[in-house]
Structure 1
Amino acid sequence: MGLDAFVHCRCWQDGLTTPCPVGPVGYDEEGCLTLLPTDGYDAAAENAFYAWMAEDACPHRHMELVSEGVANWTGVRMFQQALRAAGADRFPTLVAGLPDGNDGGLTAGQAATALAELDAFGESRIADGTALVDEATGEVVMQYIESYRGVFMYGAGWHAGVDPAGFFVVDTAAQPPATLFRATRFAQRVLPDGRVDLVGDDGTRATVAMRPVGEHGSPPPERLAVLTRPRCADDYAYIVEPLRRLCAASVATGNPVMWC
């Protein structure tokens, strides 16, 4: 799951499409080409309209000049966090315009401003990040995301994550929720009964009915550490480049960037 976006081509505005088999057709209040409402819902007409857009209307599939998978939601939140850390007042359009869900968009005017902000971001000093790494390989297992309060793993009665103070496991079934384990460097061992034994270098210890940290590895890491790692603008190319293409297309066509 993540954030996708598109920009309509100009074929409809410029009279370059084939005739639509149904109607009326026009732009909704957000700037998305659609079958305008009439009396009652007509599923056949709607299906015919979307089939026309997808294949027959013009050379652009779905009448989209540009369509991008912007980033997964974790990637979006990491970029939003970097924007705030670099100075939210310097990137007001990006900070306000990147959504919390799959709706809304940017007008062509906002897209032009966002392009300038993306250029400025590329020249910015990015704050260091907090990450949990596998000590044996240096691979990042999880990163601190402020909007998630650092939580990255969920299970029945527990959640776990990383923040600047270390890796933590919380018993969410307790009232109030209680921290079962916290450490900046620790070892983990999966017991025969499936529980995980966590031992911090500071002597803290807990045995928890949870999944092992970094379980996507085979086997999962034995030793992990929370580190502060330098970040740079290039680390966010995964989202900056698709945003740049979308905004450039919006400016060129005068059509909005539509989140979806």
Structure 2
Amino acid sequence: MGLDAFVYCRCWQDGLTTLCPVEPVGIDEEGYLALLLQWEGNKAAHRTFDAWQAEACPHKAMEQASEHVSNWAGVRLFQQALRAAGPEHFPTLATALPNLNGGSLPADRAAVALAELDAFARTDRITDEVELIDEATGRVLMQYVESYHGVFMFGPDYQAGVDPDGFFVLDRADPPATLFRAVRFGQRPLPGDRVELTAGGTRTVLAMRPVGTHGEPPPERLAVRSRSRSGDDFAYIVEPLRRLCAASVATGNPVMWV
């Protein structure tokens, strides 16, 4: 689950594709190259169009570029960094990424976004990021995502996460009550799918899975830290966005978010 995107090649626009065996073909209201017939009553024609599009030109599915941009948490962290840096510094990027799948970025805006991506990547200090780490190894277990209110774990009776004030566990009542909060704490798995959390001489036992397992033994000591992040730390999303925007500029076609 996450955000993907592609840019059409120019083969259809420039008359370089094989002849489509069904008609009419054009750009639909959402910006997709499509068979402009309703689905009902024309299913066979749509299947013929899909088979043609897959092999109509040297580009797979008639796409100049196709990228997995990031999972949604990565998108939100990038948007969060842009807000922290100041939207006035990256105005196009600040509004370019969608909040849901769908939509597009026109080629003229992609050209501006490409320049902003280059400037973003060169920035030595973008933001300070709040993280929950395993103290023994430094492994990052959670990151604070503002738009998720820091929540990263959900259970039948609880939700847990990290924010600038520390790691927290809340119940699922309305309004939620804080069951545990600490900046540094220990944890110990207990029988019966429970965990013991200790901090500052207090001990809390909760019916929840240990934090930071992910196929590994759960860490015993955990801490929340703030770490400075540079443009290089966001290469995971900057690089696919660069490739998409460059393809958009080269073809004049929009980036299609999917």
TM over 0.5: yes
Structure 1 residue 9: Cα displacement: 0.4
The amino acid of 1:216's aligned partner reads H
Q: Secondary structure of the equivalent of 1:156?
A: coil
The amino acid of 2:207's aligned partner reads A
Contact 2:122 2:232 in 1 (8 A): no
The verdict on how the C-alpha distance between 1:74 and 1:38 changes in structure 2, with shifts beyond 3 A counting, is closer
Query: Which residue in 1 is equivalent to 2:181?
Result: 182
Q: Secondary structure of the equivalent of 1:88?
A: coil
The verdict on how the C-alpha distance between 1:30 and 1:113 changes in structure 2, with shifts beyond 3 A counting, is farther
Q: Distance in 1 between matches of 2:32 and 2:110?
A: 16
Q: 1:52-91 to 2 correspondence within 5 Å?
A: 52-55=52-55, 57-91=56-90
Query: Which residue in 1 is equivalent to 2:4?
Result: 4
Contact 1:181 1:205 in 2 (8 A): no
Structure 1 residue 205: Cα displacement: 2.8
Note the alpha carbon deviations across 1:125-181, whole angstroms, 9 max, x for none: 311110000011100000001111100111111100000100000001x34210000
Query: Which residue in 2 is equivalent to 1:97?
Result: 96
Q: 1:95-174 to 2 correspondence within 5 Å?
A: 95-124=94-123, 125-172=125-172, 174=173
Structure 1 residue 204: Cα displacement: 3.4
Query: Which residue in 2 is equivalent to 1:255?
Result: 253
Q: Distance in 1 between matches of 2:136 and 2:70?
A: 29
Q: Distance in 1 between matches of 2:39 and 2:4?
A: 32
RMSD: 1.3
Query: Which residue in 2 is equivalent to 1:29?
Result: 29
The verdict on how the C-alpha distance between 1:220 and 1:150 changes in structure 2, with shifts beyond 3 A counting, is same
Please list every run of 5 or more consecutive structure 1 residues that lacks an aligned counterpart in the other structure: none
Structure 1 residue 217: Cα displacement: 4.4
Q: 1:240-251 to 2 correspondence within 5 Å?
A: 240-251=238-249
The verdict on how the C-alpha distance between 1:198 and 1:105 changes in structure 2, with shifts beyond 3 A counting, is same
Identity of aligned residues (%): 68
Contact 1:181 1:204 in 2 (8 A): no
Q: How many residues align?
A: 257
The amino acid of 1:257's aligned partner reads V
Q: Distance in 2 between matches of 1:120 and 1:205?
A: 48
| Superposition TM-score, scaled by structure 1 size | 0.95
| Superposition TM-score, scaled by structure 2 size | 0.96
| Structure 1 stretch displaced more, 40-49 or 244-253 | 40-49
Please list every run of 5 or more consecutive structure 2 residues that lacks an aligned counterpart in the other structure: none
Q: Distance in 2 between matches of 1:39 and 1:235?
A: 45
Q: Secondary structure of the equivalent of 2:223?
A: strand
